[in-house]
Amino acid sequence: MTHQSASAFINPVILDEVTQQAYPASTLYVLATPIGNVCDISLRALHVLSLVDAVACEDTRNTAHLLGRYGLSKTLLAAHEHNEREVAEKIVARLQAGERIALVSDAGTPAVSDPGARIVDAVLSAGLRALPLPGPSAAVTALSVSGLVNDQFQFIGFLPSKARQREIALAGLAGASATLVLYEAPHRIVETVDALLQAFGPERRIVLARELTKLFESVHRCSLGEAPAWLAADANRQKGEFVVLVEAAPVALDDSAEGERVLQILLAELSIKQASALAALITGQKKNALYERALALKDA
- Number of residues assigned to the chain: 300
- Contact between 130 and 57 under an 8 Å Cβ cutoff? The reply is no
Euclidean distance between the first and the last CA atom of the chain, given in angstroms as a whole number:
54
Q: Give pTM, 2 decimals.
A: 0.80
Q: Do 242 and 186 touch, CB atoms closer than 8 A?
A: yes
Q: Is the pLDDT of residue 9 over 70?
A: no
pLDDT above 70: residue 1? no
**Pick from 295, 107, 61: nearest CA to 279:** 295
Strand partners, 210: 218, 242
Confidence of residue 291 (pLDDT cuts 50, 70, 90): confident
pLDDT digits (tens, 9 = 90+) for 108-122: 999 988 889 999 999
What's the confidence (pLDDT) of residue 252? Answer: 58
pLDDT at 93 over 90: yes
pLDDT at residue 297 above 60? yes
Instruction: Tell me how many degrees the CA angle 110-111-113 measures, rounded to the nearest 5.
Output: 105
In this structure, how many other beta carbons lie within 10 angstroms of the beta carbon of residue 61?
Answer: 11
| Cβ 103 vs Cβ 120: under 8 Å | yes
182-240 pLDDT, tens per residue?
999 999 999 999 999 999 999 999 999 999 999 999 999 999 999 999 999 999 999 99
Give the whole-angstrom CA distance, residue 226 versus residue 137: 27
- Do residues 94 and 53 touch, judged by C-beta distance below 8 A? yes
Residue pLDDT, tens place only, 99-148 = 999 999 999 999 988 889 999 999 999 999 999 999 999 999 999 999 99
Mean pLDDT of 11-32: 92
